[in-house]
Amino acid sequence: MDEFEYAIFEDEEEEIEGEDDVKLAEIYKLASKLLKLLDEIKSFELKESASLMLIKEIVGEDKVLVGLATKMLQDMSYGFEDDESYVS
């Protein structure tokens, strides 16, 4: 493993205690931070691969999430997310 991978695994030991709303707030905070870091990446190829890596990590083996992510990406690629009359 290189230094980058070690840095990622150091934070995995932290466990969030509390109710679902506390956990949701922490997820939102971390997701916002990840998206900010992702926007700062200059290389389009690295940004693309990091985005796909995040999607894969979130979706995992959950078939429902795979379907939702696939549908969302299709809607975005065809430009339907801007059409208020479109229902996915």
Same domain, 31 and 56: no
Domain count, the chain: 2
Q: pLDDT class for 7, splitting at 50, 70, 90?
A: low
Contacts of 17 (CB under 8 A, 6+ apart): none
Q: Residue 3: what pLDDT?
A: 56
pLDDT digits (tens, 9 = 90+) for 8-55: 555 555 676 778 888 899 999 999 999 999 999 999 999 999 998 999
Identify whether residues 47 and 26 lie together within a single domain. Answer: no
Please say whether the beta carbons of 41 and 61 come within 8 A.
no
If asked whether residues 52 and 86 sit together in one domain, one would say yes
Full domain range(s) for residue 59: 43-88
Residues 36 and 60 grouped into a single domain = no
Cα torsion angle, 30, 36, 41, 44, sign: positive
Please state the pTM of the whole predicted model: 0.61
- The position carrying tokens 């990590």 is 57
